Each structure stands twice: as structure tokens, then as C-alpha cells.
Amino acid sequence: MYNNWYLLAAIPVFALLILVHEFGHFITAKWAGIRVDEFALGFPPRLLSFKRGETTYSINLIPLGGYVKMPGENGETTDDNGTYDPRNFAAKPASRRLIVLLAGVTMNLILAVVLFSVAEAVGRVEFRPVIGSVEANSPAQAVGLRAGDRILDVNGQPIKYFSDMQNDTTNTMNAYVSAHKGATTVPITLTVQYPGQAVRTLTVNARVKPPQNQGAIGIQADQTNPYHLRTPIWQAPIRGVQDIGSVTVATWQGIQSIIRGIIPFNQAFTGPVGIVHITGEVASTVPTDGWYSILFLTGFLSLNLAIVNVLPIPALDGGRVLLIIIELLRRGKRLSPEREGLVNLIGMAALLLLIALITVNDIGGLFAGR
């Protein structure tokens, strides 16, 4: 049963994502001959720290990320005394700076593949395509669907597991809404059979914007007699790479749903509070369903961290990469350190404001029972 102790699962999940990302920056900075002043998990105030060589390693209070502090990150090539410092980040060639900046994203991408692969090898739990319960006042109830009905196919497409029905329904709805702007329901044809009775075909008007936690049709799976599906270990890495593609496509489809208004904007983004809550819920399934879901979720978060960080937004890795690309296009002419620092400062302030707004929305959603 879910309880608040499962929320603590977010600590190792967040720590792993941040550690791997920042380690990418750290190890490539060392390779590039850049001095690293601090390797930090979280943002100040500082809780614990120790120094080894020239680098301080610290754990900070605010768990919204981490950083590898390198002199010259804002484009300055001199030290505090105005002396040229060859070990500054800005003093290195553009190619090495790009490698350092993209290393964090690359490490998160690698971590995602590893976690997806392990998840596939551990195996996932699937349920029979049998209805366990029907929500009151739902489209399923309106057409007479009932607990015990076995779903044989969706729009003529045979299904094997309950998740197949969910995926086929989602794909059909996305295609229908693209072709019928402003649609509030989508017709889904289901072939179902109740034990000992004849097969029947029903058309359900799936809701484009269903109530929270009900789903488009309003049914839940019968979770008795689950299947445990494992991928042979030598095939797991292939499936892990395929999962990268699947999650990326699903993310793009989600963005399209936001643009088309299928997903309300205030429900489209989840911040740290929401992620902690989701992680707690997923972690609570480990005793009954195994490790697949928490491993897959962590891989999903790692992939999304890579995607977000590569966006050309000031203060993020992608924003700094964009500045280097502009520098190359201008044949080596850089922004002044003052301007580059101001751009990154504004970007960081905007990012923190966005995180604050999303966090407020997450908290409001939790109190509202979302």
C-alpha cells in the first residue's frame, strides 16, 4: 500500500540523475585541462563538503540540480588579477568547450539506455485485456461495458495485453483530433466478450479531456493473474535503444497534444514536487510488480533531463552551446564576458521562476487530489 515513506525513493533517483550528468561535465573538463573548483550536488546552502586537490566536492540543500564550477564559464579568460589563465573554460578551443558542455547530456542519454536495458532484462508486468472495473458516468458505462469483459480488438486491431488497448486508443485519438479540430470525443470500436456469452462490437465515445485518473474510456484492468515478461539479457540492450525511440516519439506526441489543446497547459508540465510524488507512487508498486517501473521511470527522467538540457535556453547547456555556435559563425568573435554573464543570469532567473510556478501548480494539484 502507498504511503509517504515511498516519497524517499526520489532521493536516490534525483541523486543518480544529477551525479551522472555533472560527472560528464567533470570528467571531460579534467580531460580538456580545465580547472574544476567545485563539483556539487544540489544548490547552496552547503550541507557537506570536502576538498581533494584543487576541487571541492559538496552536497547542498536545494535538490534542484547540481553544477561543476569552472572559471571562465561566462567567457572571461583572465583570473581575478587580470592575468590570462590557460586553464579557464573560456581559454580552451571551441571544440573542447562543446565537448564539455554536451558531456552531461550524453551521460544522461547513456544512463537512459542502461536503465531501459536493465528494466527490459528484469521484466515488466502486463495484465490480460480484461476489464476489472468501470468508472461511474464514463463512456464505458454508457455503452454497457462491465467488469469481466475481455477486449479482443480495438478498431479491428487484435490486442494481447491491456496496455495494447491503451496504446491503440491513444494513437487513434491523436490521429482523430488532428483531423477533426475541436473534437471533444473520439469514436473507438471495441470487440468484447463476456465469459460464456457471444462476442459483441461496441463503439465508445472516448473523452478527449477525461476527469483526472479516469482515462478516456473509463475502465481499469483486471490485475489478477498478471504476466511477467522478461527480455533475454543479450537482447535487452537492443530493446533499451528502442525504448529511447519510443519515449522520444511519445514525448513529441505529448507536445503536439499540448499545442492542440488536448492536454491542458497547467497539466502539461511537472516540476520537482510532482516528480517526487510520481516517483513515490511508482516505488510503491515495487513490492508487488517488481523493479521494472521504477527503473523505466528513472530512465525516462534521465532522457527528459537530456532533452531539456540540450534546448537552446540561456543558463542551460544548450544555451551555452548556442553561444559557442554563434561565436563560430562570427569567426571567433565572442560576446563580452559581461554580456554573456547577463544572458545566463537572465536565463537562470527565468528558469527558476518557471520552476517556482510549476511547483505551485504541482502543490495545488496534489491538494486538489490530482
pLDDT in tens, 36-64: 999 999 999 999 999 999 999 999 998 88
Cα–Cα distance, 161 to 237 (Å, whole number): 23
What is the reported pLDDT for 175?
Answer: 83
Band the pLDDT of 267: cuts 50, 70, 90: low
State yes or no: pLDDT of 292 exceeds 70.
Answer: yes
State yes or no: pLDDT of 18 exceeds 50.
Answer: yes
CB of 299 closer than 8 Å to CB of 119: yes
Residue 44 forms beta bridges with which residues? Answer: none
State yes or no: pLDDT of 368 exceeds 60.
Answer: no
What is the reported pLDDT for 369?
Answer: 52
Question: At which residue does the C-alpha cell 543479450 appear?
Answer: 234
For residues 123-142, give the mean pLDDT: 93
Annotated catalytic residue within 22, 73, 76, 340: 22
Structural domain boundaries in the chain: 4-35+70-122+302-367, 124-229
What is the reported pLDDT for 62?
Answer: 86
Residue 48 forms beta bridges with which residues? Answer: 59
For residues 57-73, give the mean pLDDT: 91
Q: How many CB atoms lie within 10 A of CB 14?
A: 22
Residue 342 forms beta bridges with which residues? Answer: none
Task: Look over the chain and give the mean of its residue pLDDT values, rounded to a whole number.
Answer: 89
Distances from the Cα of 91 to the Cα of 72, 83, 94, 166, angstroms: 8, 12, 9, 53
Strands 38-52 and 131-134: unpaired
Residue 43 forms beta bridges with which residues? Answer: 62
Cα–Cα distance, 96 to 29 (Å, whole number): 9
Band the pLDDT of 265: cuts 50, 70, 90: low
For residues 321-332, give the mean pLDDT: 90
What is the reported pLDDT for 158?
Answer: 94
State yes or no: pLDDT of 95 exceeds 80.
Answer: yes
Which residues lie below 8 Å from residue 367, measured CB to CB, with a gap of 6+? none
pLDDT in tens, 193-211: 998 899 999 999 999 888 8
Helix (H, G, I), strand (E, B) or coil at 53: coil
State yes or no: pLDDT of 252 exceeds 70.
Answer: yes
CATH of 124-229, one of 2.40.50.140, 3.10.129.10, 3.30.365.10, 2.30.42.10: 2.30.42.10
CB of 120 closer than 8 Å to CB of 127: no
Question: At which residue does the C-alpha cell 567533470 appear?
Answer: 26
CB of 292 closer than 8 Å to CB of 230: no
Residue of higher predicted confidence among 84 and 366: 84
State yes or no: pLDDT of 19 exceeds 90.
Answer: yes
What is the reported pLDDT for 342?
Answer: 85
What is the reported pLDDT for 279?
Answer: 92
CB of 89 closer than 8 Å to CB of 97: yes
Strands 150-154 and 185-193: antiparallel
Band the pLDDT of 370: cuts 50, 70, 90: very low
What is the reported pLDDT for 34?
Answer: 96
Which residues lie below 8 Å from residue 298, measured CB to CB, with a gap of 6+? 13, 16, 17, 115
22 is catalytic: yes
| Spatial CA neighbour of 66 closest among 15, 5, 134 | 15
